[in-house]
């Protein structure tokens, strides 16, 4: 029997982690966060697949492709958090756990960041823990899958 697959989705500008606003997002690169998530997933007997895109439609397509194939989704939607109803609608069709992930704490930032269109369809949100958030998100995912 193969290991359950967790899809890790990374939204716009996350390919610039380590370079873009390190005082907000930290010095780690997306590849380093992905490696942390892969290690955490493996510790729970899960396989991690990762996709990053700066294009909303590509993330929607990845969510659609995960239906019936992946056990869970962890998504850091970046700026799409606040207005991407197409991502919201796609996630609403996914039957497994969905964890919304943010390196920073959007609620402690500019007012326009306080609304998430992803949160209503997510099982939960991990926010404000920096690089630790990737491990926490996979730990939460594994716990939800065991329920």
Q: Residue 75: its pLDDT value, please? A: 98
Residue 127 has pLDDT above 90, yes or no: yes
Strand partners, 8: 50, 74
Q: Provide the angle, in degrees to the nearest 10, between the axes of the packed helices 30-43 and 132-146.
A: 30
User: Domain 5-146 belongs to what architecture?
Assistant: 3-Layer(aba) Sandwich (3.40)
Q: Residue 115: its pLDDT value, please? A: 85
Q: How confident is the prediction for the chain on average, in pLDDT?
A: 93
Please give the positions annotated as active site.
25, 102
Q: Which of 53, 21, 58, 15 is nearest to 33 (CA)?
A: 15
């Amino acid at each position: 029997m193969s290991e359950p697959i967790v899809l890790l989705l990374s939204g716009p500008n996350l390919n610039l982690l380590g370079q873009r606003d390190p005082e907000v997002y930290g010095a780690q690169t997306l590849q380093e966060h992905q490696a942390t998530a892969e290690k955490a997933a493996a510790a729970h007997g899960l396989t991690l697949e990762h996709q990053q895109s700066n294009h909303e439609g590509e993330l929607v397509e990845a969510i659609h492709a995960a239906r019936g194939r992946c056990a869970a989704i962890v998504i850091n939607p970046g700026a799409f958090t606040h207005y991407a109803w197409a991502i919201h609608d796609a996630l609403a069709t996914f039957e497994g756990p969905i964890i919304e992930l943010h390196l920073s704490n959007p609620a402690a930032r500019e007012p326009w960041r306080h609304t998430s269109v992803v949160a209503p369809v997510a099982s939960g949100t991990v926010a404000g823990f920096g690089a630790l958030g990737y491990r926490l998100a996979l730990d939460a995912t594994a716990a939800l899958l065991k329920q």
